[in-house]
Amino acid sequence: METIIPSLLGGLVEALEPFNLTMLIIGCVIGLFVGAMPGLGSVNGVAILLPVTFIVPPETAIIFLAAVYYGAMYGGAVSSITLGIPGASTAVATVFDGRPMAQSGKADQALMTAAVASFVGGTISVVLFTLFALPLASFALRFGPAEEFALMLLAFATFVGLGGDDIPKTIFSIAIGLVLATIGLDIISGRPRLIFFDITGFYAGINFLILAIGIYGIGEMLWTLEQTKGDVQVHKVRAGLHSIKEHVGRLKEYLVPASFSGFLGFFVGILPAAGATPGSLMAYGLTKAFSKDPESFGKGNIRGVAAPESANNSASTGSMLPMITLGIPGSPTTAILLGGMIIWGLRPGPLLFTEHPEFVWGLIGSLYVANLFTLIANIVLIPVFARVLTLRFTILAPVIFILCIVGGYAPTQTMHDVWLMLLFGVVGYLLRKLDYPVAPAVLAIVLGPLAERSLRQSLLSSQGDPLIFVERPISAFFMACAVLLFAYPFFVKWSRKRKATAAGTTEWQG
């Protein structure tokens, strides 16, 4: 602690130098709008802006790119809430409750919740990063394939056991997502799987963002058009000092789940190759699971906005930890940052803290500043974002459709994905009409590839022995929790049936 505080103060001084602070502010603003644009997200934003950093010192370069990354995490919630289109895969879970809040005239509260929860998650993660960087990185290395698979299974079990939805429909939705996740080339043999009609576009698999934009952008637009016949204007939203005062009174509603999600997101973020998307979905699922009113989730519950936003912001910081301390990127964006560090002549690893302390602590200090600045920028810009919702849906629908097309084309720049996105839009609309939960399918297509890779690596290392999942303490704990969660609905059903039988017997005897 004696060395951490002076080093952190030095990092803050480094981040607040005029040139570095200017680059940080520019990075946050750029990231905010990059995150809000469907199809872009932090990966594309950092990749596009990486060449800019070659003309500035490494300390300034990492501060700028980290600010873009941070701003994009905040910005992803904007289009999720105002348009129902996830700006990035990390903001998909925000759509579940953020969009219903906006449609009921509470867009200002949803946007403010997203900003404050992101600040909470970001603060928790930066403090943990500062205090426990090296020990946490070492602990993350104890997570092998068996532990990763057990963790993914626990995430599925959370949706099934505590989701509050129709269990057969939830399982069906997860199964559909897992099937879609297997499309492409086999990760072991390299052979094609489920390449429908030998269409070459399927060889690259299903891009998760294409699925998300299709289901939550096109699907939601079709549903709204059918329900309203296009004759709808979203309630006018208030955004100003009165709105801020009103929100202060609601902080206690979501501070606890936002704080819990911040810790969860950071932990998931430091796992190699996990990233912010699984963290945000798991945080949403667990918050819903342990809520007193899980049936209100998906209908505009403020905690359903706070949990994923806190988690994805926290996970984005967490994913930088293995990159800095071990040279292992925790997400696609940090993989690009890692490449930048190598180009700048820096070698990530434990020695980076001693060989280039000004670089590491400048980055950590900039995260504190970027977190605060992005919170302020988001709150200031809420009236601008909320103004989108004052448009009639007959005007808004074509805009949503064009943004979806652009967002579907941007990641891979192939028309195959655009047609696929339109197909997913129709599927999402049909699932909505049939009252099937979509969130489990989204979770499955995100976690499916990770779970498959971990499962097959585990079985290969154990020569096909499934006991590997219960012989390792951490994976055994997660597996036991998953089994309990799967069994929980059956226990509840049995308990209710027993009480009903007992009540009927008592009534008959009376």
382: β partners: none
Q: How many CA atoms lie within 13 A of 403 on its CB side?
A: 23
| Rg of the chain on CA atoms, in Å | 23
pLDDT for the residue numbered 328: 64
Q: Of 77, 123, 81, 121, which Cα lies nearest the Cα of 99?
A: 81
What's the token pair of residue 88? 């990035």
Encode pLDDT of 347-378 as tens digits: 776 677 777 788 888 888 888 888 888 888 88
3-state helix, strand, coil in the chain (%, to 5): 80, 0, 20
Encode pLDDT of 370-423 as tens digits: 888 888 888 887 777 767 656 666 776 787 788 778 777 876 778 888 888 888
Question: At 346, is the secondary structure helix, strand, or coil?
Answer: coil
Q: How many CB atoms lie within 10 A of CB 251?
A: 16
Directed axis angle between helix 439-461 and helix 145-162, to 10°? 150
Taking the C-alpha atoms of residue 466 and residue 471, their distance in angstroms, rounded to an integer, is 9
Confidence band for 134, pLDDT divided at 50, 70 and 90 = low
**Total-model pTM:** 0.69
Q: Of 365, 380, 263, which Cα lies nearest the Cα of 310?
A: 263
Q: What is the mean pLDDT of residues 90-102?
A: 83
Beta strands in 190-325 (DSSP E): 192-193
Q: What is the mean pLDDT of residues 98-107?
A: 82
176, amino acid identity: I
317-337 core/surface letters (b: 16 or more CB in 10 A; e: else)? bbbbbbbbbbebbbbbbbbbb
Q: How many CB atoms lie within 10 A of CB 275?
A: 28
Average pLDDT of the chain is: 78
Q: How far apart are the first and last CA of the chain?
A: 70
Encode pLDDT of 169-191 as tens digits: 878 888 888 888 888 888 777 78
- Alpha-carbon separation of residue 297 from 120, 292, 307, 426, 457 (angstroms): 21, 11, 12, 23, 36
Encode pLDDT of 22-35 as tens digits: 988 888 888 887 77
Encode pLDDT of 73-87 as tens digits: 887 788 788 777 776
Task: Enumerate long-range contacts of 470-477, CB under 8 Å, 24 or more apart.
Answer: 472/144, 472/146, 472/147, 474/142, 474/143, 474/147, 474/150, 475/146, 475/147, 475/149, 475/150, 476/150, 477/150
Q: What is the dihedral of CA 318, 333, 99, 437, to 10 degrees?
A: -80
Q: How many CB atoms lie within 10 A of CB 252?
A: 8
CA angle 305, 287, 272 (to 5 degrees): 90
Confidence band for 2, pLDDT divided at 50, 70 and 90 = low
Residue 237 has pLDDT above 70, yes or no: no
Residues 6+ apart with CB under 8 A from 217: 38, 83, 84, 85, 86, 400, 403, 404, 407, 421, 425
pLDDT for the residue numbered 164: 53
Encode pLDDT of 310-324 as tens digits: 988 888 888 787 777
The secondary structure element, H or E, covering residue 477 is: helix 473-509
392: β partners: 233
Taking the C-alpha atoms of residue 506 and residue 348, their distance in angstroms, rounded to an integer, is 70
Confidence band for 459, pLDDT divided at 50, 70 and 90 = confident
